[in-house]
Amino acid sequence: MEHTIDRNNKKKAWLRGIVSAILIVGSLWLLQRLLVPKYVDGIVEGAFVAEYYKEEKDFDVIFVGDCEVYENFSPIVLWEEYGINSYIRGSAEQYIWQSYYLLEDTLRYETPEVVIFNIQSLQFDKSQNEAYNRMSLEGMEWSMSKVNAIKASMKENEHFLDYVFPILRYHSRWSELSATDVEYLFKTKKVSHNGYYMRVDVKPAEQVPEGRILSDYSFGENAWKYLDKMTALCKEKGITLILIKAPSLYPYWYDEWEAQVEEYAAENDLRYINFLELQEETGIDYNTDTYDAGLHMNLSGAEKLSVYLGRILAEEEGLPDRRGEAELAAAWEEKIADYEAEKAYQYEYYGINKTVTELK
Amino acid sequence: MLFTSYEFLGFTAALFLAYYCVPKKCQWPLLLAASYIFYFIAGPDYLIYILATTATTYGAARLIEQNADRQSAYLKEYKAELTKEEKKDYKEGQKRIRLRWLVVCLLLNTGILAVVKYTNFMIANINDVLAAFGGNRQLSFVTLALPLGISFYTFQAMGYLIDVYRGTIRAEKQFFRFALFVSFFPQLIQGPISRFGDLSESLFERHAFNGKTVCYGLQRMLWGYFKKMVIADRILAAVTTIIGDTGTYHGAYILVGMLFYTLELYADFTGGIDITIGIAEVMGIRIQENFNRPYFSKSLKEYWRRWHISMCAWFRDYVFYPVSSSGPMQKFTKFTRKRFKGALVRHLPVHLSSFVVWLATGVWHGASWNFIVWGLLNWAVLVVSEELEPLYARFHKRFLVGKSRSYRIFQMGRTFLLVCVLNLFDCYHALSDTFGMLASLFTSGNWQVLWDGSLMNLGLSGLDYGILAVGTLMLLLVSLSQRSGSVRDKIAAKPYAVRFCVWYGLFLIVLLMGAYGIGYDASQFIYNQF
Amino acid sequence: MEELMNILSELHPDVDFEKEERLVEDMILDSFDIVSLISEINEEFDVTITAKDMIPENFNSAKALYALIQRLEDE
């Protein structure tokens, strides 16, 4: 009799322990889901990196880099005009080590023909901002590439553990939760078009300030190291690496920087396209093609750049036209529909008369 | 490693696990290893200091005890042969030898402490004197790293040595066990200063895993983290703002700053001690309590029996008693007793001894004048209240207020305010600032800042104030509940679901409302700089 | 013993020293009292109470204190 009571007690204690453990883990997981930023409205850039994993990964071109790639090139145009299947793995102020590891991460799923990297981020030798680290890294799926990316990115006051358990980082966000956090507790919303961030509004570039004089124009050792790694990785996988500089008037792009990149490209036999020097060829008009006075392109600017870049990719790099692939074409149909829908929405939102813009 | 760092949590978690996995005879050696690893991480250079103190104190204690043992053996053997005089002479001679070892070891170790802690303070003062005499020469400051916890472990080791000298405890024979006593890592950060007699038994005992002790220990730690992270680290922002700018923040702000600092000091220090005691408790080790609801004290004298108990006891037993019972002091007492009738004069010797204690306490707290003045002010208040005692007694008798509840609450409020004012000396490093700010309380007349929204500009949001208010209320309620016994016992008596909600709830509060991570600057424990 | 009782009740007239056994723990005697006490005892009984003897166990009751004095007188 006593024996059974004892056994029952033990059973009860076990049951209690298991139920408590499930409660704890479950509630912590829920809390974490609730507290992490959702990036579905306002700052959507934080959601870009994660969106890639939902794709059918069979791209011919992969872009890596900061806002100078995800706001300046439209994969939709590349598809519509040239049948090129591309994706932008961009994120806000993506540092070069993050670009490298994002590329490494991409190569776990596929090997594209061409990788395009925007060299703006060479100017940084170490991560500048924790918030940008977060937006570039959090969306990555766990792999050694992510681990290394975090290690390469962390600033002094950051901890690896905060990336493993983001609740530790966002624990005080409970005071600023909104309905969005509940709505997107278990789901996400597509916020980019194959990594492209669309803006249709216009703000002409006016006086662009001259770059202030720097004490040292040479890029840092760490930045070079990751460019070397990227070059080597592409070479090893038989990928063509193309370096670009987007036509952003600001932040200022120094001649001294340009010289270093040109030299590097020549040494490593890489194609380097500086869109700042191609205003005429691309047809960029800083009065109509930028939405923030020259920092980033708007839709009009991005489409012009894409047409120009697509021609090079198709004609000079010989990328195939895949519009004949039925399945792929069907997937793109959907994407194009989304793209057009957002275009229409934004034109209305910003109160722009579409026909007038197009006529120009 | 701060208590609130991931590294520290990981370190202790790994230690707990290892502690109950290794064979029980390896438990204390494991603790020793962990303590030295902890110390090594804090700064490899520091090891030499703690090793020096450990080795010299161990050696001196052994020599003293061997001498005492030889003495009793000798006296026993020659009991019949020796005359009373000879015995006395022999004893005196031996005692002198022991005293010599004691003094040498004390001087050496307090000397190390004095050099690393006070060199720059001395240099600054010498420079002031040089400048006052119009000299152009100034001594340059030296950079000496202050080894982690040196004030605490030096005092702990010295207390042990004196106890051995007095014969109240036996000297530890095993060097490594003694090394653990000196370096036991949870105590290195901010005390308490344990007695060998209190700590040693449970420190070296073999501990089988006991679910209840482990739970209680973890609960105690959690409560400590709550105090530290939710309250102290949050309010820190406002305290730093107020202290940092005497031009803007004076008058009514000082009242706010005083209250905030007193709350912060309490939450930070008692929280840290909760963590320390909790860590030890998880491993079955009992550390003496260091606080006894100090802000419920009805006088400053009582406050100093309930605040930082281990330090006060140290100064009482190893400074106050020896000084006041010393030959010269006893002679002085006799002298005053014979010549004078007045209570003040008759009390003079005791006040003199306590002057020495408070001077030493001030110096111990920090190498600067503000701490010395702080110590002496404490002393002055204690002297005044001691001498006014008969007056109070008469007042109480006449108006029959002595025992009423509201009067007791008044006394507590008065003592609390007094402590707040004294704490100001801890806030401002320049004495002129402290006095200036105290004076501004009466002259600034900017009382409107208390309600015109200015308090929202101190670095705390309305939400922060809300959390602080609720947190402080929790502290108060727990303290009130403690008067009728252990709060953990009371919670443990509740059904499982209630217990689960209480402790997991507290954990969630710390997790979500703790002031940690990016945006909250990692703050050092206030007390680990001492 | 009587002399000791006199000294004690002079210090705290309102305390019943015959009965109290936790004088120090209950904070009836504080360190200030103890120091005052020892000077008087030293003088009255011609003994030397040193810091070593100033521990709660010796001051918790009149009995314990008297035992301490006797022990010191023997030495």
A121 assigned to some structural domain? yes
Return d(Cα B283, Cα B210) in angstroms, integer.
Answer: 9
- C49: contact with B, CB 8 A cutoff: yes
- B253 burial level (CB within 10 Å; 0-12, 13-18, 19+): buried
**Nearest chain B alpha carbon to C53:** B166
Does residue A324 carry a pLDDT above 70? yes
Question: Is there an interface between A and C (3+ Cβ pairs < 8 A)?
Answer: no
Residue C35 vs residues A267, B153, B317, B376: alpha-carbon distances, Å? 88, 28, 11, 20
DSSP per-residue string spanning B213-278: HHHHHHHHHHHHHIIIIIIIHHHHHHHHHHHH-TTTS-THHHHHHHHHHHHHHHHHHHHHHHHHHH
Judge: B518–A169 Cβ closer than 8 Å, yes or no: yes
By the 8 A CB rule, do B159 and B199 touch?
no
Q: Which residues of B touch A23 (CB under 8 A)?
A: 500, 504
Q: Do C35 and B321 touch (CB under 8 A)?
A: yes
Whether residue A287 has pLDDT greater than 70? yes
What is the 8-class DSSP label of residue A290? B
> How far A34 CA sits from the closest chain B CA (Å)?
12
Q: Is residue A2 scored above 60 in pLDDT?
A: no
- Phi-psi label, residue B83: left if phi above 0, alpha if psi -120 to 50, beta otherwise: beta
Residues contacting B346, CB < 8 A, separation 6+: B336, B337, B340
Dihedral sign computed on CA atoms, order B448, B454, B458, B460: positive
pLDDT tens per residue across span B173-223: 999 999 999 999 999 888 899 999 999 999 999 999 999 999 999 999 999
Q: Is the pLDDT of residue A352 over 80?
A: no
**Is pLDDT at B530 greater than 60 in this prediction?**
no
- Burial code (b: 16+ CB inside 10 Å, e: under 16) for B354-385 equals bbbbbebbbbbbbbbbbbbbbbbbbbebbbee
Q: What is the DSSP letter of A47?
A: G
CATH of the domain at C15: 1.10.1200.10
Closest to A171 (Cβ–Cβ): which among B6, B496, B511?
B511
- What is each CA distance from B100 to A315, B70, B94, B317, B380, in whole angstroms? 96, 16, 10, 20, 35
Q: Which two tokens stand for residue A57?
A: 């990964």
Distance between CA atoms of residues B481 and B476, nearest Å = 9
Query: Of the candidates B518, B510, C40, which has an alpha carbon nearest to the alpha carbon of residue A155?
Result: B518
- Read off the pLDDT of each residue in B62-71 and give the average, rounded to a whole number: 94
Q: Could you tell me the pLDDT band of residue B478, with boundaries at 50, 70 and 90? A: very high
Q: B292-340 pLDDT, tens per residue? A: 999 999 889 899 999 999 999 999 999 999 998 888 888 888 888 777 7
DSSP B454: G
Phi/psi at B285 (5° precision): -100, 135
- Whether residue A114 lies inside any domain: the answer is yes
- CB-CB under 8 Å, B305 with C54: no
Q: At residue A86, what are phi and psi to the nearest 5 degrees? A: -130, 165
- Name the percent of chain B lying above pLDDT 90: 57
Report if residue A309 sits inside a domain.
yes
Q: Is the pLDDT of residue A58 over 60?
A: yes
List helix spans (H) across B133-207.
150-166, 175-183, 186-190, 196-204
pLDDT of residue A351: 81
How many separate domains does chain A show?
1
Query: What token pair was written down for B380?
Result: 């002055």
Say whether B6 and A159 touch across the interface (CB within 8 A).
yes
Q: Which of B166, B318, B350 sits opposite C35 (nearest CB)?
A: B350
pLDDT at residue A225 tops 50 = yes
- What is the widest separation between alpha-carbon atoms in chain C? 34
Question: Within chain C, where are the H helices?
Answer: 2-11, 31-45, 56-59, 62-74
As a whole number, mean pLDDT of residues A127-140 equals 90
pLDDT at residue C19 in the model: 82
Phi–psi pair at A227, nearest 5 degrees = -65, -40
Residue B400 has pLDDT above 70, yes or no: no
Phi, psi (rounded to 5 degrees) for A87: -145, 140
Domain boundaries, position C34: 2-74
DSSP assignment of B507-523? HHHHHHH---STTS---
Instruction: Note whether residue A28 is domain-resident.
Output: no
Half-sphere CA count of B29, side-chain side, radius 13 A = 6
pLDDT of residue C25: 82
* pLDDT for residue B255 is more than 50: yes
User: Closest partner residue to B325 among C27, C43, C54, by Cβ?
Assistant: C54
Nearest Cα residue to B19 out of B4, B32, B6, B37:
B32
Q: Using one digit for the tens of pLDDT, what is the confidence trace for B482-510?
A: 989 999 999 999 999 999 999 999 999 99
Q: Is the pLDDT of residue B526 over 90?
A: no
pLDDT surpasses 90 at A156: no
Compute φ and ψ for A196, nearest 5 degrees: -90, 135
Q: Indicate which of C31, C41, C44, C71 best probes the interface with B, i.e. most B CBs within 10 Å of its own CB.
A: C31
Q: Can you give the pLDDT at residue B402?
A: 59
Secondary structure of A193-210 as H, E, C letters: ECCECCCCCCCCCCCCCC
B334-390 residue pLDDT tens: 888 777 777 777 788 889 999 999 999 999 888 788 899 999 999 999 999 888 877
Give A181-194 pLDDT, tens digit per residue: 998 988 888 899 99
By CB neighbour count within 10 A (0-12 exposed, 13-18 middle, 19+ buried), where does A342 fall?
Answer: middle
The length of chain A in residues reads 360
Three-state DSSP class for A93?
coil
Q: For residue B131, how many other CB atoms are within 10 A of its CB?
A: 12
Domain limits of chain B?
A: 6-209, 210-287+451-520, 312-321+328-435
**Residue A58 in tokens:** 């069979």
Tens digit of each residue's pLDDT (9 = 90 or more) over B222-252: 999 999 999 999 998 889 889 888 888 888 8
Q: Is residue A7 part of a domain?
A: no
* Pure H helices in B78-149: 84-132
Q: Which residues of C touch B334 (CB under 8 A)?
A: 39, 43
Q: Mutation test of the interface with chain C: which of B165, B302, B321, choosing the one with the most C Cβ atoms within 10 A?
A: B321
Paired tokens of A298: 């708007």
Interchain CB contact of B353 with C (< 8 Å) = yes
User: What's residue A301's pLDDT?
Assistant: 93
Per-residue pLDDT averaged across B141-149, rounded? 80
Q: How confident is the model at residue A360 (pLDDT cuts 50, 70, 90)?
A: very low
The answer to whether residue A75 sits within a structural domain is yes
User: Which of the four pLDDT bands, split at 50, 70 and 90, describes residue B140?
Assistant: confident
Distance from CA of A53 to the nearest CA of B (A): 29
B512 contacts A171? CB cut-off 8 A: yes
Give the list of residues 6+ apart from residue A236 with CB closer than 8 angstroms, or none: none
Q: What mean pLDDT is predicted for residues A140-162? A: 93
Q: How many CB atoms lie within 10 A of CB A25?
A: 10
- Average the pLDDT over each of B168-172, B203-207, C57-61 and give the range with the smallest value: C57-61
B168, B347, B349 ranked by CB distance to C52: nearest: B168
By C-alpha distance, the chain B residue nearest C48 is: B325
Beta carbons of B166 and C36 less than 8 Å apart? no
Distance from CA of A130 to the nearest CA of B (A): 9
Question: What are residue B332's phi and psi, to 5 degrees?
Answer: -60, -40
Instruction: Give how many domains chain C has, as a whole number.
Output: 1
- Does residue C12 have a pLDDT over 70? yes
With 80 as the cut, is the pLDDT of residue A118 above it? yes
| Token pair in block for residue B126 | 């010498």
What is the 8-class DSSP label of residue B319? I
Q: What is the pLDDT at residue A141? A: 95
C50 touches chain B (CB under 8 A): yes
pLDDT of residue A1: 53
Distance CA A243, CA A272 (A): 5
Selected residue of B198, B324, B326, B354 to mutate for chain C interface (largest C Cβ count, 10 A): B324
Strand partners, A193: A196
What confidence category does residue B170 fall into, taking pLDDT thresholds of 50, 70 and 90? very high
